[in-house]
Amino acid sequence: MRNPALGDLAVLIGDWRIDLTNADFLDDGAAMSGTMSVEWLDSAFIVMRSSMDHDGPPKSVCVIGRNEAYSGYTLLYADERGVSRIYGMTLEDRIWIQHREDPGFHQRFQGTVDPGGNRIVATWAKSHDDARTWEHDFDLTYTRL
């Protein structure tokens, strides 16, 4: 039996190609690609594993769960650098949002899932002044394999 509190996330389950663009760490017009797999963990959580093909963002794993008394999800992130973070997350009306509000460094992700559930267009932004101003980080497009 799958955790019914995670039912809205079923659209993410599967294997995805990632295309990363518009990043400061890339030359103008350059892109990089990678993959993401999303699967159930013991029918109670969802696990996302991502890796890029070249020297881009590090390999990462995320575990998503939910307290059924609340509408949002919690996403635990860890990567090969030893970095670990906790994000709040929602996925409502095809809008996928992740956000983190640590002192001195905030992040937000917003993606739109296409009506067929086969493509997600997203962007990351960051703030170094506790969300008073935001700067674009990079864009991602996920395409279901």
Q: Which of 50-54, 85-89, 93-97 has the lowest mean pLDDT?
A: 50-54
Distance CA 123, CA 111 (A): 6
**Residues forming beta bridges with residue 34, ordered by sequence position:** 18, 52
Mean pLDDT of 92-118: 96
Nearest Cα neighbor of 6 from 61, 34, 48 is: 48
Q: Which of 91, 85, 92 is nearest to 63 (CA)?
A: 85
Give residue 98's domain range: 4-144
Per-residue pLDDT tens over the stretch 106-131? 999 999 999 999 999 999 999 999 99
CATH, residue 20: 2.40.128.20
Tokens of 111: 């993606």
Distance CA 10, CA 113 (A): 12
> What is the count of structural domains for the chain?
1
| pTM for this prediction | 0.93
Q: For residues 96 and 73, what is the distance between their CA atoms, to the nearest angstrom?
A: 11
Predicted confidence band of residue 73 (pLDDT cuts 50, 70, 90): very high
